[in-house]
Amino acid sequence: MRMLLTALCCLVIPIAVAAQTYAGKVTAVKDGDTIEMLVKGKKLRIRLFGIDSPEKGQPHATKAKEFTAELCFGKTVKAVQQSRDQYGRIVAEVFLPDGISLNTAIVSGGYAWHYRQFSKNPLLAEAEMQARKEKRGLWKDAHPVAPWDWRKHKRKKAS
């Protein structure tokens, strides 16, 4: 019986952690895919799930940050945790006061890629396809460089 309870806890606890929901005011936009929220007096850094925006120093990074800020800065949003990343940040889908997904809105606006390595969300895939087709945001460039390729190149160059 004790082994069964232990096994069930191992299955239920990760699900409970992943399903954690936070509501709070966006107090900072760190970049196009990372925000900071004030939740019950505590600052939480949130990495937006399933998307990847241009890195600092990369074309469109500033515009991506500004676009994200226009959508959410100063607003009370809801973040539904999916996981934590290697830096300990909460990885979440964030919903604006009107219920629209911030993650999808950024991709739709053309300021982030659907991060397919970590997400199979068909709405994000469709949003990216439409943004590319309509040449929104970073898709105006003939050959935009994905942030994961930019980071890889930067690491390679540094070593």
Q: What would the two tokens of residue 69 be?
A: 């800020």
- Pairing type for strands 34-39 and 90-95 reads unpaired
Provide the residue type at 67 as one letter.
F
Catalytic site residue from 45, 66, 84, 89:
89
Q: What does the pLDDT look like over 75-125, one tens digit per residue?
A: 999 999 999 999 999 999 999 999 999 999 999 999 999 999 999 999 999
Q: Identify whether 126 is a catalytic site residue.
A: no
DSSP helix/strand/coil, 95: strand
Beta bridge partner(s), residue 79: 22, 94
Instruction: Give the CA distances from residue 94 to residues 6, 91, 153, in Å, rounded to whole numbers and listed in that order.
Output: 32, 9, 30
Q: Do residues 112 and 64 touch, judged by C-beta distance below 8 A?
A: yes
Q: In this predicted structure, what is the pLDDT of residue 2?
A: 44
**Where in the chain are the domains?**
19-152
Can you tell me the distance from the alpha carbon of 138 to that of 55, in angstroms, rounded to the nearest whole number? 12
Q: Do residues 126 and 134 touch, judged by C-beta distance below 8 A?
A: no
Going by C-alpha positions, the residue among 33, 142, 141, 136 that lies closest to residue 94 is 33
- Specify the CATH number of the domain 19-152: 2.40.50.90
Q: In this predicted structure, what is the pLDDT of residue 109?
A: 98
Q: Identify whether 55 is a catalytic site residue.
A: yes
CB-based contacts of 115, cutoff 8 Å, min separation 6: 50, 51, 52, 148
Please give the mean pLDDT across all residues of the chain: 90
Phi, psi of 114 (to 5 degrees): -75, 120
Q: Which residues of 117-155 are buried (b: 16+ CB within 10 A; e: fewer)?
A: eebebeebeebbeebeeeebbbbeeeebeebeebeeeee
Q: What would the two tokens of residue 147 be?
A: 């942030």
Q: In this predicted structure, what is the pLDDT of residue 1?
A: 43
Residue 8 has pLDDT above 50, yes or no: no
Q: Identify whether 89 is a catalytic site residue.
A: yes
